[in-house]
Every structure is written in C-alpha cells, then in structure tokens.
C-alpha cells in the first residue's frame, strides 16, 4: 500500500461533484482522511468560485493506475475546457483531481510532488491539517511550515459539506 494525497476541486455542481469524487475514491483508497472543504476564487481564469479539499489515504494502485482512475473520474463528471464567446479560457471544472503525493515518488510526469503544495494555500493549508509534519519528497520544510508562509484570507470554510461523512 502506498500513502497518497489528492487535491479535489470543483466550481460547477460543486457539492455533487465533490461527493461523486469521494464515493469513487473510496473504491481505491483506504484509511482516508479528509480536510475541511474551502470555497475559493479561481486564480488564473474567469469562472464561479471553487470548492477545494485534500484527502489522504492508502492505495494498492500503481501510480499509472491511480492517474488513469482520477482522469476517468474527472471525465465521468464532464471535465473539459470551456471558453467564453471571445475565446478566453474559463476556469470551469466539474471536477479536478490532482495527485499531490504518491509515497516518496519524485516524478516529472505526473509532476510529483505537485508544485501546488508549494504555491497555493487552498492545497497547502488543507494538506497541513491532515499531515502537519510531512516533508514532501525532495523538500526541506514540513507542509505546516509551508502553509505558515501563505495567506489563508482567500479560504472560506464550507460548513454544509463534510467529505468525511460521505459513504460511511
């Protein structure tokens, strides 16, 4: 079994999408821990606000199999690129699942550990709440130390969605 961390995000049918992701991931992960869900504004494009969360669990799947599983789950929820009438990319995702960590693997494709851990509070803060002392492979600071250097002003807790309760 390999310990993994996954980031979940959705800004279209957010509650349904996050619930679907959790139910699907329970088929391939055990000993799952879920962060709180946070609402955030999209960063690099236009679109509705996101729901974001991080889950940590164990999997018997290889990295390639886990990647294929997450991409298939995204497609089931209608993942695709969306554009406005002027050709500007919109930040609309029914479901986005990113593998943040896969054990101690360091890889270019998929990028592991994901650079999101080091850049975005909507990933780092929830991850730190689950595994505060974890030092990402190749890193020299814990996720708690990384999170301490980030502003969490843009993270608004979502009180009516608790991923820990889904499927139990």
pLDDT in tens, 12-63: 889 999 999 999 999 999 999 999 999 999 877 677 899 999 999 999 999 9
Number of domains in the chain: 1
Segment 109-164, tens digit of pLDDT: 999 999 888 899 999 999 999 999 999 999 999 999 999 989 888 899 999 888 88
Is residue 40 a contact partner of residue 50, using CB atoms and an 8 Å limit? yes
Write down the mean pLDDT value for the chain. 90
Backbone torsions φ then ψ of 17, nearest 5 degrees: -65, -45
Q: Residue ranges of the alpha helices (H) in the chain?
A: 14-25, 63-76, 116-119, 121-130, 143-148
Three-class SS of 134-161: CCCCCCCCCHHHHHHCCCCCCCEECCCC
Identify the burial level of 47 via C-beta atoms within 10 angstroms of its C-beta, where 0-12 means exposed, 13-18 middle and 19 or more buried: middle
Q: Phi and psi of 157, rounded to 5°? A: -60, 140
Q: The whole model's pTM is what? A: 0.90
Match 């494009």 to its residue by tokens: 45
Supply the range of the domain harboring residue 49: 2-165
Q: Which CATH number is 46's domain given?
A: 3.30.70.560
Please give the Cα distance from 101 to 38 (Å, whole number).
20
Residue pair 100/123 in contact by the 8 Å Cβ criterion: yes
pLDDT digits (tens, 9 = 90+) for 73-121: 988 887 666 666 777 666 667 788 999 999 999 999 999 999 888 899 9
Count Cβ atoms within 10 A of the Cβ of residue 57 and give its class: 0-12 exposed, 13-18 middle, 19 or more buried: buried
């Amino acid at each position: 079994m390999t310990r993994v961390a996954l980031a979940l995000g959705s800004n279209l049918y957010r509650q349904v999408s996050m619930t679907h992701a959790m139910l699907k991931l329970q088929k391939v992960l055990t000993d799952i821990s879920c962060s709180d869900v946070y609402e955030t504004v999209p960063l690099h494009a236009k679109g509705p606000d996101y729901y974001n969360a991080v889950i940590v669990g164990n999997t018997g799947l290889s990295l390639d199999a886990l990647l294929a599983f997450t991409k298939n789950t995204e497609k089931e929820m209608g993942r695709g690129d969306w554009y406005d009438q002027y050709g500007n990319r919109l930040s609309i995702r029914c479901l986005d699942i990113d593998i943040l960590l896969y054990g101690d693997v360091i890889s270019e494709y998929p990028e592991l550990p994901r650079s999101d851990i080091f850049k975005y509070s909507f990933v780092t803060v929830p991850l730190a709440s689950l595994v505060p002392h974890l030092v990402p492979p190749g890193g020299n600071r814990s996720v708690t130390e990384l999170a301490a250097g980030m502003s969490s002003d843009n993270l608004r807790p979502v009180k009516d969605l608790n991923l820990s309760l889904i499927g139990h």
